[in-house]
Amino acid sequence: MLNSAQQWNQPSNLSDLGYVNQHAAKFVEAVRATGGNNTYRNLIVSTYAAAHGTAVLSGLTIPTDPCGNQSHIAVEVHSYDPWDWLHVYNMTWTSECRETIKSMFNDLDTYFISKGYPVIIGEYATNGAGEITIDKNSTTAQKAEAGKQAGDMNRLCKKYGAASFYWMLLVDGADRSEATFRWSMEQVADSIVNVYK
């Protein structure tokens, strides 16, 4: 959800976070009221604009779950951090980049993970300003840098028991065909898989 100023990090008026909380509460209530497996199905609530700044994380109120088990509600955020690292760090995944996502996980742990709420990084990738990204047409060296980012993201997910989803370009276009499936960015896929071996 974005406010009228189209801000992705946090609303200009922090009271707008209340609308996200109201939406989350009504969502959980509506699903649980349908009965059957929906009585205890795992549900996901998202922060404002799927952001993860301190104000947004601290402003999210996890709905009380009528099923009586709060761990059936997960929190989702997105991360393209550090934003625009392809420009800022000249397409190089640096120790500063790594520290940025470590800080994000520290915050996620403080507000949710340590309290028993599962966390999902619903999107992450190399996207930056001007829609620049690393994709199947990038150089081998650039794909290796994207692999470093994916490796660091998934090492932190493994450490904190979180899940993550790489945004789009791992398998792109014709590579998605069932008959000819292949990884569009094999270096990135390998980096993810190697974390969990």
pLDDT tens for 136-162 read 999 999 999 999 999 999 999 999 999
Q: Mean pLDDT throughout 158-167?
A: 97
Residue 7 has pLDDT above 50, yes or no: yes
The model carries a pTM of 0.92
Q: Taking phi first (over 0 means left), then psi (-120 to 50 degrees means alpha), and beta for anything else, what does residue 9 get? A: alpha
Contact 161, 117 (CB under 8 A): no
The share of the chain scoring above pLDDT 90, in percent, equals 87
Q: Mean pLDDT throughout 60-75?
A: 94
Q: Mean pLDDT throughout 102-126?
A: 97
For residue 93, what pLDDT band results from cuts at 50, 70 and 90?
very high
The DSSP element (H or E) to which 122 belongs, if any, is strand 119-124
pLDDT at 5: 55
Residue 10 has pLDDT above 80, yes or no: no
Contact 117, 71 (CB under 8 A): yes
* Cα distance between residue 19 and residue 23, in whole Å: 6
What domains are defined for the chain?
A: 14-195 (3.20.20.80)
Q: Mean pLDDT throughout 58-63?
A: 96
* Cα distance between residue 91 and residue 109, in whole Å: 29
CA nearest to 65, candidates 108, 36, 110, 33: 33
The DSSP element (H or E) to which 121 belongs, if any, is strand 119-124
Q: What are phi and psi of 15, to 5 degrees?
A: -65, -20
| Average pLDDT score over the chain | 93
pLDDT at 1: 43
